[in-house]
Amino acid sequence: MVSIRGNALLGSDLTFTEDMTIEIDDEGVIISIAKEKKTADYLLPSSYVIVPGFINAHIHLGDAFLKDQTYGSSLEEAVGPNGIKHSKLSTSGIEEKIGSIRNSLEMLIQNGFTSFADFREEGIRGIDLLRNELKQYPIRGIILGRQTEKNTFDEVSKNCDGLGIRDVFDINQEGYTTLSKLKTNNPSMLVGIHVSESEEVIAESISKFGKRDISIITENDVFDFVVHANYSKDEELKLLSQRDIDVVCCPISSLYFGLKFPPLELIQKYDILFSLGTDNVLSCNPDPFRLMAFTLYNARANCQNISPKEVLKSITVNAGLILKQKIGQLKIGYSGDLLAIDLESYNLKFSKDVYTAITLRADQSDICFQMYKGKVIKWKDQK
């Protein structure tokens, strides 16, 4: 067992609470959170605040080897089936792919992420590649696989944590039937899909199916969450809310490709659980602080009202709920994944609101202590 004592953001509302002792058992699970003033293995300075480990709810971490090679390209040119990314994947060797994955994992950990959900390309081969690398890194990877010509939905689902489907053009009626059976047999299996990322995607959906993509996916009761929804309409968000389908938005990636900022205020209005992801590493580094600040600044620029606290919850509490894992909260029974941020650092000194300080001013240099499953992976005060 290990114990940490300090100020903390506790529970599902990230309530700031002073001088708490958190105990984590040998399995890496939080077993006690108490106000009792007792000796702890790690007594953190009073300027520190303990927060849940950050969760990147949507990433494609295999394309780091294409950093800055797609700037100025359209979405289709960069990541479409015949675009730059998939051309590179099809011609790259194993070692190059492993190097790309390792770089992404190292950035995720260094920047304070303790969990991520990867939409994994290349079927079972891609899943195995990431799983093998994860054994060497202190981070939780939730792998959402994708079917290929060689690997069916059924085969892929047996080798990972769920399915991350490219879009509505990548699934037919037989596929929906298969997904329905898989969900019936395993209700906890995660299924996500990209929707309404661009106007071109919506136009193609109308051309091929006579309706917009969100209308299609809400007719099939197999999806747990959608990714993007940049161009979703009011009535479509109502449908997602009625079907209990969550939304993961990727605002940095969207604006990188010249797309619309997601309608976060409307998503909240309809009580849809939302989270954030950094998406393709080729478009931006997996940096939670940049992601939070970018989201808040652009929400203001787009006349959307969203609070710093809600943005912080989106990469902690909400992400854990969307991904159906006991992560993202400092709460008994949840994984002992946490960070401590120094509120007296040069970046944060004089700030009077902990949520605004973390979301708008902090960066990875302000992380002074980091744990994954109760194991220390960063401790600046260590002698």
DSSP labels for 292-311? Answer: HHHHHHHHHHTT----HHHH
pLDDT score at 382: 66
Measure the CA–CA gap between 192 and 62, rounded to whole angstroms: 18
The domains of the chain, with CATH numbers, are 2-53+328-379 (2.30.40.10), 54-322 (3.20.20.140)
Measure the CA–CA gap between 22 and 40, rounded to whole angstroms: 9
CB atoms within 10 A of CB 296: 21
**Which residues have a Cβ under 8 Å from the Cβ of 241 and sit 6 or more positions away?**
270, 271, 272
99, with CB counted inside 10 A (0-12, 13-18, 19+), is middle
Inter-axis angle of helices 123-134 and 94-110, nearest 10: 50
**Blockwise average pLDDT, block size 10, the chain, 383 residues:** 97 97 97 89 96 98 94 94 90 93 98 98 95 97 94 94 96 94 94 97 97 96 97 97 98 97 97 98 97 98 98 98 98 98 97 97 97 94 61
pLDDT score at 192: 98
